[in-house]
């Protein structure tokens, strides 16, 4: 159950627009030598390594020479060698559509639960248009640190 909660939280990381000004660049690779319509220029994770219990942002910078009117994003996550999660999201629910030709970023910020297992993870992201044509497919590795941040304190006001 803890792994499912972690992966769901991770999935959300890739689904909205966010500035890359404070991000840390990571290596990625395309899934194949195919000439994808969407060219990924970088994957940024901040902070890196990811720390449990504090906000983390995963950002994917990309370019397309065509407008993208809609589609899906398929996310697959492996913990070490084990597939721990897969999910598909509507692209237009996560970022405004159409995505204009040119540079764009898909990203999200969220705190992972303090119970997220530390170690190495691999995320594979496939972006498909409305006709299920694969626009891009990349994978990248990231690590979850061994130490969780202190739980944030929440102020509660009584009425």
Per-residue pLDDT of 21-65, as tens digits, reads: 233 457 999 999 999 999 999 999 888 888 888 887 878 899 999
Smallest CA-to-CA distance from 72 within 124, 31, 127 is with 127
Q: In CATH, what number is assigned to the domain containing residue 12?
A: 2.60.40.770
* Helix (H) or strand (E) run with residue 29 in it: strand 29-30
In a domain, 155, yes or no: no
Please tell me the pTM assigned to this model: 0.71
pLDDT value, residue 3? 53
- Looking from the CA of 1 toward its CB, the CA atoms found within 13 Å total 0
In a domain, 8, yes or no: yes
Domain count, the chain: 1
Parent domain of 18: 2-144
In a domain, 157, yes or no: no
Residue in the block written with tokens 């084990």: 82
In a domain, 32, yes or no: yes
In a domain, 150, yes or no: no
In a domain, 149, yes or no: no
Asked if residues 72 and 136 have their Cβ atoms less than 8 Å apart, the reply is no
pLDDT value, residue 84? 77
Low-confidence ranges of the chain (pLDDT < 70): 1-25, 108, 112-113, 147-159
Asked if residues 16 and 108 have their Cβ atoms less than 8 Å apart, the reply is yes
Q: Is the alpha carbon torsion for 116, 72, 27, 78 positive or negative?
A: positive
């Amino acid at each position: 159950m803890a792994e499912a909660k972690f992966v769901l939280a991770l999935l959300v990381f890739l689904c909205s627009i966010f500035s890359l000004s404070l991000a840390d660049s990571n290596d990625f690779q395309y899934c194949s030598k195919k000439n994808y319509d969407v060219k990924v220029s970088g994957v940024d994770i901040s902070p890196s390594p990811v720390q449990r219990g504090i906000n983390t942002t995963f950002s994917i910078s990309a370019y397309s020479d065509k407008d993208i009117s809609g589609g899906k994003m398929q996310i697959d996550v492996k913990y070490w060698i084990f597939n721990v999660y897969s999910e598909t999201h509507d692209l237009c629910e996560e970022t405004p559509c159409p995505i204009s030709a040119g540079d764009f970023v898909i990203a999200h910020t969220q705190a992972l639960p303090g119970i997220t297992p530390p170690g190495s993870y691999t995320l594979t992201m496939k972006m498909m248009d409305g006709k299920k044509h694969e626009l891009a497919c990349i994978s990248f590795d990231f690590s979850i640190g061994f130490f969780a941040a202190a739980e944030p304190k929440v102020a509660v006001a009584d009425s």
